[in-house]
Amino acid sequence: MKIQKSKTKEYRDSFKLIHQTDTGEKVYRLGRSILIKLPENRNSVITSWINGGYREDLQAIFNHQLNQSEIDHLENGPVPEFMRNTAKKMGMDPGRTSGFLTVAYMDNVAIITKTFREIEVTAIVTAGIEVNGGRAGDTASYYELNGTYEFEVGTINTVLIVNCNLSESTLIRSMMTAVEAKTVALQELMAPSKYSHGVATGSGTDNIAIISNMESEDVLTSAGKHSKLGELIGKSVIEATKQSLSKQSNLNPDSQCDMLVRLERFKVDPENYWEHARSAYQEPDKTKFMENLHDFSKNPLVVSLVASILHLIDETSWGLASQGAAEKTAISLMKTLPDLLKIENVPNYEKLLDQSDSVLINWIRVSTWVILNMKK
């Protein structure tokens, strides 16, 4: 399928300035793209199909949202050629332009600036991991051979602009700190991996660019977590990543205050609850049960309890807790649920629970019993 072409003039006429740094970097919105124009004497490190690595000659960096026809094209065509053509359409020199691809909407970009004295750090992030969120070390989803592979969507793209002068090694250290900060944002949101039961550390196609000002007399040599530059990088990236994920994926503290959402990464869904209610209790009214389940699921007390139980499962998978000790503790915790919700009746746990089954199966049994008894 051919890509729908746009005329260069149409791109130029649609440029809209949405942000400008104090040192002259200009961020434009144009259609399904964001373009960051760089003044002269900027150096950068960037993970990109075109003009990636360490550069001192880039004029611009773009972030382009793919439409379906473009995705279809990229599954059979070369990505670098497509990106060079995208740069040309924007009126940029493809030899001095780099960029990223995503399916995230440019309306959901987050731009956060943090300052301390003479240091200014700006993070520009688009983020979406509802399809492609993964955890480092998950089983691979493709094998690349001679540049050919299946194109995946869902990406966190980060551009970090620092107003000070950073060497190549300091730029790389800045990249390390920024990637850690992105992971902090995902960990604090308990973003699920789509390829394992773990918490995501990113998407499978994330990209990042770090830009510094070689004209600045403020030469910084450290960007680690102990440095003020590292602190500003961390704070700006965490805030921008969270803000963009909230806009794009509705991933935020409110959406995560839901038992069913927390259970998704363990492949537990409402149908598992209904099947148990129907088979164990002959519950006749699925619609009413599902309404009660979703109300129960959003109770902050329930979410806090299930989060504690799921963390025990995580600790077991990490080798930090023995399976026996974690399961025994989890069973003890879930037995507190009726009292926590002020239900006078107490189930017969000897009949309700089976310690030979998994923690999750036993949780479904206890929480289903509570749901059915809360409505009476």
Could you report the per-residue pLDDT of 156-209, keeping only the tens digit for each? 999 999 999 999 999 999 999 999 999 999 999 999 988 888 898 888 789 999
Domain boundary among 194, 219, 249: 249
Domain total of the chain: 2
Looking at the structure, do residues 288 and 241 belong to the same domain, yes or no? no
Residue 234 lies in a domain: yes
Looking at the structure, do residues 130 and 242 belong to the same domain, yes or no? yes
Looking at the structure, do residues 210 and 294 belong to the same domain, yes or no? no
Looking at the structure, do residues 290 and 214 belong to the same domain, yes or no? no
pLDDT at 2 (0 to 100): 37
- Does 118 score more than 80 pLDDT? yes
Residue 3 lies in a domain: no
Looking at the structure, do residues 351 and 333 belong to the same domain, yes or no? yes
Residue 138 lies in a domain: yes
pLDDT at 305 (0 to 100): 98
Residue 205 lies in a domain: yes
Residue 229 lies in a domain: yes
The whole-angstrom separation of Cα 267 and Cα 51 is: 40
- The alpha-helical segments, DSSP class H, found in 192-318 are 228-249, 253-256, 259-263, 270-281, 286-297, 300-317
105 burial (CB, 10 Å; 0-12 / 13-18 / 19+) is: middle
- Does 29 score more than 80 pLDDT? yes
The whole-angstrom separation of Cα 75 and Cα 180 is: 30
Looking at the structure, do residues 314 and 168 belong to the same domain, yes or no? no
Mean pLDDT, residues 203-229 taken together: 94
Nearest partner of 253 among 306, 309, 178, 191, judged by Cα = 191
Kindly report, residue by residue over 232-241, the tens digit of the pLDDT.
999 999 999 9
Neighbours of 156 (CB within 10 A): 31
The whole-angstrom separation of Cα 188 and Cα 171 is: 26
Q: Which domain holds residue 210?
A: 8-249
Domain boundary among 192, 217, 249: 249
pTM: 0.89
- Does 7 score more than 50 pLDDT? no
The domain spanning residue 37 has which CATH number?
A: 3.60.70
Kindly report, residue by residue over 327-337, the tens digit of the pLDDT.
999 999 999 99
| Whether 172 contacts 45, CB under 8 Å | yes
Looking at the structure, do residues 71 and 27 belong to the same domain, yes or no? yes
Domain boundary among 214, 249, 284: 249
Looking at the structure, do residues 214 and 308 belong to the same domain, yes or no? no
Looking at the structure, do residues 152 and 242 belong to the same domain, yes or no? yes
Alpha carbons within 13 A on the beta-carbon side of 18: 20
Token pair 């942000």 in the structure block, residue = 19
Pick 375 or 95 by higher pLDDT.
95
